[in-house]
Amino acid sequence: MDEEHDFQETSEEADEIDSELPKEPVKLISEDTLDYHPRVSEPLELLVDPDTGVVVGRSQSFHKKYGPVGLGMLGAISETSDDILTSLVGTPVKLDLVSPHVMFVAGKRGSGKSYTLGIIAEELALAMERSQIEVAGVLIDTVDVFRQMVEPNVDQEDLLEKWGLDDRGFPVAVYIPRRTYAGLPDEVKKKARLYPLAISPRELSDSDWGYVLEKGGQLSTTMENLIGDIIDSLRHGYTLEEGTRQEGIRDFSINDMIRVIESNPAIQDLYKASTQTAMIQRLRRANRLGIFHPGGTSAQDLAIGGQITVIDVAPLGSDAESVLAILTNILCRQVLTYRMTWTDDGTSAREELPPTWLIVDEAHTLVPRTGNTPAKEAIISYAKLGRRFGCSLVLCTQQPSAVADDAISQSDIILSHSLSHDNDIRALQQRAPAVMPEQFKDKVFISSLPRGVALLFDQTTENKRGFIFKVRPRLSKHGGTDRLSGLFEAAKLAPHEEDLKDEITIQEVEIDESEKLEVPSDEFKDDEMLDEIEDEDIPDLPHVPRPPVKLSREDWELLDSWIQDYVTTLFEQKQQEFSITEETAPRETTEPEVSIVDEPIIEDYSDDTDAVIDVSNVAVRRFGNLQPTLLAKAMTRKVLYSRSSHEFLFPTESIERETVLIESDDVDPWDLVERITGILVERGLHLDSLRHEDDFTFVLLRKDEVRVAFSAGISENTVCIPVIFSGTSRRGVSILSDQFRVAMR
Ligand SMILES: Nc1ncnc2c1ncn2[C@@H]1O[C@H](COP(=O)(O)OP(=O)(O)O)[C@@H](O)[C@H]1O
Ligand SMILES: [Mg+2]
């Protein structure tokens, strides 16, 4: 078939395609392979093509035109019927990839959602390899699970064999935050097909700035005005003190923004010194994420025809949410804008941007039912308008009831794995675009669907019912912890030294309009501070060419083995740094090992709310000569993952946490412990217990549902105490940790 054929936008080829229909009936997947096959009595009428299987997302006439072209295999029907003759069990389920869709994938944690998204991405890649479609697939990944698509799924080889499939990797392009990228060795970047991800500050709207600069997303009016004035000055130019004119620029960095505060007399006259300082601090913090940079990554870099692109923001950790939302917003807006040009001037939108499949994992954080995020409106518009311009959207969530209705209601295909909460089941029932048999509505039934089994509701078979199918095994590897993730961590560690120091020595200035907060002048010798900021800058990265569209399988095998060797060697070299505290990496296990010898010793004060700490009982762990960064890292991990403190800090699953790192040179560590405890007690916390575990003492305090744990370590003359706040309410944790931060000044 001609490679240039465009099935999305032309429809003349029907006859040619018809002649390509395979003449052999489709092979069924055996019932043994589908270990779960419940009986459903309601009759199942679907679009069944004996040569291909059950076809979803297509009308009968559409399928007649395209036949097997542009279908992706999701899995096989796993329900049986009362009448063995009408049972479709084992029939492959094929999804239409030719026309645009809005899909919604739901399921509780661990039910197989992300895995299913991976299947969709694989099928897009395969259909492109067969030259049946040409689209761009963009996968948005917050938990580092899709990058591994480059590797074959060797772990599930047996399962693949049962399905008659072979494992293989796919040449996806992986975009990671610019700073993580800059910290990785060149060879790794090249071989793992990593590319730097950046957001240009000029793309941010006023409300985006709120999310970037302030935790709750809400800037004070003064700060909002200041941001507006800074951006205005940059765009239109301004006059310096000595009268020279600074010309306006189109694109700018965060450092340029800081420079405006420093050098625009109009801003200096208008805003209090404390407001300026507070803004500079917040901008610096945003800059440290290492993702804001002029130029930025555009939709045209990410959405490339024939290419699956993974945007992996996991290395940003807890900051990922707002950054990701801003990025998704920019991406949705740009894709729609480029695609819309099609209708305006008559030329094909394809020249600007290919039809794009945007696949978003964990979407409830981006399009929540209540509250706003920088991405919410853009995703909803994309869901509403995208299909008209050839664009597809796949939203995935563990909490359908927490996703904006406007987004779900656009779906033409809903796929649900197991759900266990009533309101999630209800949300699914209300939105399913096909009939839901009574049996499926039953809580026990839907909460006991095995992993990888899903219900599918398809709008094109509107008046028919949904059905149960088993998702096929992945050809490529589904992510989780791997050695490259460790390398991401290492890369985060490298350029972080300055940052940690900042967090400890530079105090946050609270902006309280009513209270005049003057900063001691020697603390912010402005020029000095700017210099420091320049030093911190990541050197400009060389021009990065766009990824080549295809690599052969042999290339991949070669590259894979090369990367694995490389990473292993690198890890052996890094071993010493990683095992400072002789504990496993947090990602590998959160269950601290139980050791009979080292049972923690507990001094319990939980019944005595007035208990005072006897610091002579507190052990301070002495380390050899360590870099401050490493000391801080090791201590923080120790408090987070030691058995004593971990159990105390994280009694349930959904826990918010905040770390305040206290670091000081030439002080008595016990004085510092006493001071920290004193401040916390003043804020209403009481001592819960002291727990002694392998040469560390964990001081544990609590107030209602907020819990605090810390422990002291010393290297040379540097004392380091990470103080970790945890609790079920974000607000509770933030308020207490902020108050503590202020008091520690
Ligand atoms: N269809 C499937 N076939 C085989 N294994 C699966 C399937 N779906 C999920 N799994 C297994 O379950 C694990 C969790 O699935 P995942 O998709 O990551 O869960 P979540 O719903 O939390 O995104 C995967 O790592 C994989 O091993
Ligand atoms: Mg997942």
What is the DSSP code (8-state) at residue 739? H
Phi, psi of 313 (to 5 degrees): -100, 10
CA-based nearest residue to 180, from 571, 538, 542:
538
Cα three-residue angle 598-486-627, rounded to 5 degrees: 70
Computed over every residue of the chain, the mean pLDDT equals 80
Distances in Å between the Cα of 135 and the Cα atoms of 100, 357, 419, 493 are 10, 7, 32, 37
Say what the pLDDT of residue 534 is: 38
Is residue 115 within 6 Å of ligand 1 at its C-beta? yes
pLDDT for residue 583: 33
State pTM to two decimals. Answer: 0.66
Q: How far, in Å, CA of 511 to CA of 506, rounded? A: 15
- DSSP 3-state assignment of 721? strand
Ligand 1 lined by 118 (C-beta under 6 Å):
no
Residue nearest to atom 20 of ligand 1 (CA): 110
Nearest CA to ligand 1 atom 2: 452
Name the residue with higher pLDDT: 495 or 189: 189
Q: What is the mean pLDDT of residues 265-283?
A: 94
Q: Taking residues 230-245, what's their average pLDDT?
A: 93
Categorize the per-residue pLDDT at 178 as very low, low, confident or very high, splitting at 50, 70 and 90. Answer: confident
HSE-up (13 A, CA, CB side) for residue 734? 6
Q: State which of 34, 114, 115 you would mutate to test the pocket of ligand 1, scoring each by most atoms of that ligand within 8 A of its C-beta.
A: 115
Q: What is the pLDDT of residues 544-566, one digit of tens each?
A: 333 333 334 444 444 444 445 54
Least trusted range by pLDDT, from 108-112, 282-286, 591-595: 591-595
Across the range 695-721, mean pLDDT stands at 92
**Can you list the pairs that 364-367 forms with residues at least 24 positions away whose Cβ atoms lie under 8 Å?**
364/397, 364/398, 364/399, 364/402, 364/403, 365/142, 365/321, 365/324, 365/325, 366/324, 366/325, 366/328, 367/395, 367/403, 367/404, 367/407
pLDDT of residue 739: 92
Confidence at residue 489, expressed as pLDDT on a 0 to 100 scale:
58
Residue closest by Cα to atom 3 of ligand 1: 473
- The owner of tokens 């009982």 is 617
pLDDT grade for 488, boundaries at 50, 70 and 90: low
Report whether pLDDT(22) > 90: no
**Stretch (H or E) spanning 258:** helix 254-263
Burial of 609-647, coded b for 16+ CB within 10 Å and e otherwise, reads: eebebebeebebbebeebebbbbbbbbbbbbbbbbbbbe
Q: Where are the alpha helices (DSSP H) in 593-714?
A: 628-641, 643-649, 669-682
Q: Which of 176-190, 617-631, 687-701 is most confident?
A: 687-701
What pLDDT was estimated at residue 413?
95
Reference 416, options 112, 10, 725, 35; nearest CA is: 112
Q: How far is the CA of 147 from the centre of ligand 2 (A)?
A: 13
pLDDT of residue 531: 35
Q: Which of 396, 399, 449, 451 to mutate to test the pocket of ligand 1 (most atoms within 8 A of CB)?
A: 451
Confidence of residue 8 (pLDDT cuts 50, 70, 90): very low
pLDDT tens column, 156-173: 999 999 999 999 999 999
The reported pLDDT for the residue numbered 704 is 87
pLDDT at position 383? 92
pLDDT at 352 over 70: no
Work out which ligand 1 atom sits closest to the CA atom of 396.
23
Q: How far apart are CA 311 and CA 426, in angstroms?
A: 32
Which one of the ligands is nearest to 473 CA?
1
Give me ligand 1 centre to Cα 310, in Å: 18
Confidence band of 486 (pLDDT split at 50, 70, 90): low
The pLDDT value recorded for residue 341 is 63
**Which one has a higher pLDDT value, 504 or 674?**
674
How would residue 425 be classed by pLDDT, with cut points 50, 70 and 90?
very high
Whether 106 and 446 have beta carbons less than 8 Å apart is answered as no
CA max distance for the chain: 90
Q: Is the pLDDT of residue 69 over 70?
A: yes
What confidence category does residue 29 fall into, taking pLDDT thresholds of 50, 70 and 90? very high
Q: Which atom of ligand 1 is nearest to the CA of 75?
A: 1
Residue-level pLDDT at 693:
85
* pLDDT of residue 17 exceeding 60: no
Q: Rounded to an integer, what distance in angstroms lies between the CA atom of residue 335 and that of residue 353?
A: 7
pLDDT band at 446 (very low <50, low <70, confident <90, very high): very high
The domains of the chain are located at 14-198+297-471, 202-293+506-545, 589-743
SS (H, E, C) 193-246: CEEEECECHHHCCHHHHHHHHCCCCCCCHHHHHHHHHHHHHHHHCEECCCCCEE
**Nearest-CA residue for atom 15 of ligand 1:** 112
pLDDT above 70 coverage of the chain, percent: 78
* Beta strands, E only, 387-460: 392-397, 413-416, 453-458
Ligand 1 centroid vs 115 CA: distance in angstroms? 5
β-bridge partners, 692? 601, 697
Q: Whose CA is nearest to atom 9 of ligand 1?
A: 112
- Note the pLDDT of residue 9: 39
**DSSP per-residue codes, 309-345:** EEEE-GGGGGGHHHHHHHHHHHHHHHHHHHHHHHHHH
Is the beta carbon of 473 within 6 A of some atom in ligand 1?
yes
Q: Is the CB of 496 under 6 A from ligand 1?
A: no
Helices (H), 107-220: 113-129, 157-162, 178-182, 186-191, 206-213
Percent of the chain with pLDDT over 90: 46
Ligand 2 midpoint to CA 133 (Å): 27
CA of 551 to the centre of ligand 1 (A): 27
Handedness of CA 208, 210, 212, 216 (dihedral sign): negative
Tens-place pLDDT, residues 117-150: 999 999 999 999 999 999 999 999 888 889 889 8
C-alpha dist (Å) from residue 668 to 140, 624, 694: 48, 17, 21
The 3-state secondary structure of 663-697 reads EEECCCHHHHHHHHHHHHHHCCCEEEEEEEECCEE
For residue 598, name the pLDDT band (cuts at 50, 70, 90): low
Question: ∠ at Cα 290 (285, 293), nearest 5°?
Answer: 105
**pLDDT beyond 50 at 436:** yes
Distance 659 CA to ligand 2 centre (A): 26
The confidence band for 507, taking pLDDT boundaries of 50, 70 and 90, is very low
Architecture of the structural domain at 589-743: 2-Layer Sandwich (3.30)
Q: Whose CA is nearest to atom 10 of ligand 1?
A: 112
| pLDDT at 342 > cutoff 80 | no
pLDDT at 480: 62
Q: What secondary structure, in 3-state letters, does 268-313 show?
A: HHHCCHHHHHHHHHHHHHHHHCCCECCCCCCHHHHCCCCEEEEEEC
Q: Which residues surround ligand 2, an ion (CB under 5 A)?
A: 114
pLDDT at 449 exceeding the cut of 70: yes
Q: Is the CB of 710 under 6 A from ligand 1?
A: no
- Residue 118 Cα: closest atom of ligand 1: 17
Residues with Cβ within 8 Å of residue 471, at least 6 apart in sequence: 74, 75, 112, 115, 116, 119, 452, 453, 454
Nearest-ligand number for the alpha carbon of 115: 1
> 107 CB less than 6 Å from ligand 1?
yes
1 vs 398, more confident: 398
CATH number belonging to domain 14-198+297-471: 3.40.50.300
Top-confidence residue, 152 or 598: 152
Sequence-ordered list of residues with C-beta below 8 angstroms from that of 391, at least 6 positions apart, any chain = 100, 335, 336, 339, 355, 356, 357, 358, 382
Q: Which two tokens stand for residue 284?
A: 């610096």
